[in-house]
Amino acid sequence: MADQYNRKAEVFELNNGTMRVLVSNLGCTITSLSVPGKDGKSADVVLGFDTVEPYLKGLAPYFGCIVGRVANRIKDGKFTLDGTQYSLPLNRPPNSLHGGNKGYDKQIWQVAEHKKGDNPSITFKYHSHDGEEGYPGSVSVTAIYTLTSSTTLRLDMEAVPENKPTPISLAQHTYWNLAGHNSGDILDHRVQIWANHITPVDENTVPTGEIKPIQGTPFDFTAERRVGESIHEVGLGYDHNYVLDCGEEKEGLKHAAKVRDPSSSRVLNLWSNAPGMQFYTGNYVVGVHGKGGAVYNKHAGLCLETQGFPNAINTPNFPSVVVQPGEKYKNTMLFEFSVE
C-alpha cells in the first residue's frame, strides 16, 4: 500500500448496455448512475459533479461516497473501548461525523480489479492505519460495485481489523433523485421503509438511546407515502436512523426501502444486511453547483444510508459496531431499479 499517497483521483465506468454507473477511486464515489424510466428513457439519478475536482475541494456534502471508519455521529467525538478512551476530530461540532476530517470518503482507494462484460464490476481497497482520525488499530477495507443484472447494482463493503478491536460502520451516501438529478426536489417521491421504529435524537442529532415506535407519526413509512406529506412536522426534514426490523429476506439481505417517482415511473428497491438506515432528505443542501449546470438546493435528493446505529459505540443497548481482529465486517447493499 506504499503507493497510497501518490494515486490520483479518477473516474471508472460500469456499463452493461442498460445501466451506466460512473464511480471514482476517491471515496468509492458514485458520480453518475443512469437507468431507464418510462418509455425506456435514461436519466442520471444521483447528485454529483462532472469532474473529480469539486470532490477533491470538499464541495460535496458527502455526495455518492462511502463513509467510514464509522458512519454518522459519535457523541462528543469520544468513546471508550477495552478501558482506553479515544478522542476523534469534532468535524461536525459537538460531534464527530462520518469518520472525521479525512474519512474514507476523502481517501483515494486502490483499484484492485476492474472487469468489463455482462456483469461488470470494480473492486476498491483501502488500508486504514492505526490512529487514523483517532481510531484504534489498522483496518483493511474492500468495496466492490457490481452490475448483477440489467438494472441492479450491488455493493459489497468489507473490513477486517488487523491488530486491535475497533468500531466499524460503513455507509454509502448517494443522494438519489429518481426523476433525474437536475429535476428539482424529491418531495413528490413516494417512499416505503421496512421499519417499525426509529432511534430518536437530541438537539445535536445524536440518538438518545431510545428505540421508539413510529406508527401513526410523521416518521411512519411502513406504508408507501409521499416524502413531502409530513416533512414540515419533523424540523428541517428527515435525518433519522430507521430500525430495519420488518423487511422480508432474500439471499441474506432484508428489504430496507422502496422509492418511487411518479413522474418518471422509476422505482428503486433497496436490500441490505445492516441493522439500520439513515433516511436523509438533503436538508442541508444549498446552492451546490452540480453536473451539467444543475444547482442543487434543499431536498434535491434523498439518502438511504444502511448502517450500524449512530453513536452505537456509546450506546450499550444498540447493536454493537465493534469488530475484533481477524473478524470480517460486512455491509451489502442491493439497488434494484425498475419501472412501475
**Active-site residue numbers?**
173, 305
| Nearest-angstrom CA–CA distance, 27 and 35 | 22
| Nearest-angstrom CA–CA distance, 115 and 92 | 38
SS (H, E, C) 172-199: ECCEECCCCCCCCCCCCCEEEECCCEEC
| Nearest-angstrom CA–CA distance, 261 and 279 | 16
| Nearest-angstrom CA–CA distance, 295 and 318 | 38
Residue 329 labelled as part of a binding site: no
Write the CA distances from 9 to 132, 279, 293, 339, integer angstroms.
20, 29, 22, 34
Write the CA distances from 40 to 13, 35, 77, 97, 266, integer angstroms.
21, 9, 47, 39, 10
Residue 239 labelled as part of a binding site: yes
Nearest CA among 112, 109, 78 for reference residue 95: 78
Task: Report which residue type is found at 164.
Answer: K
Residue 114 labelled as part of a binding site: no
Residue 181 labelled as part of a binding site: no
- In the structure grid, which three cell numbers stand for residue 16, read together? 452493461
Residue 175 labelled as part of a binding site: yes
Distance of CA 288 to the CA centre of its chain: 19
Residues in the annotated binding site for beta-D-galactose: 72-73, 173-175, 239
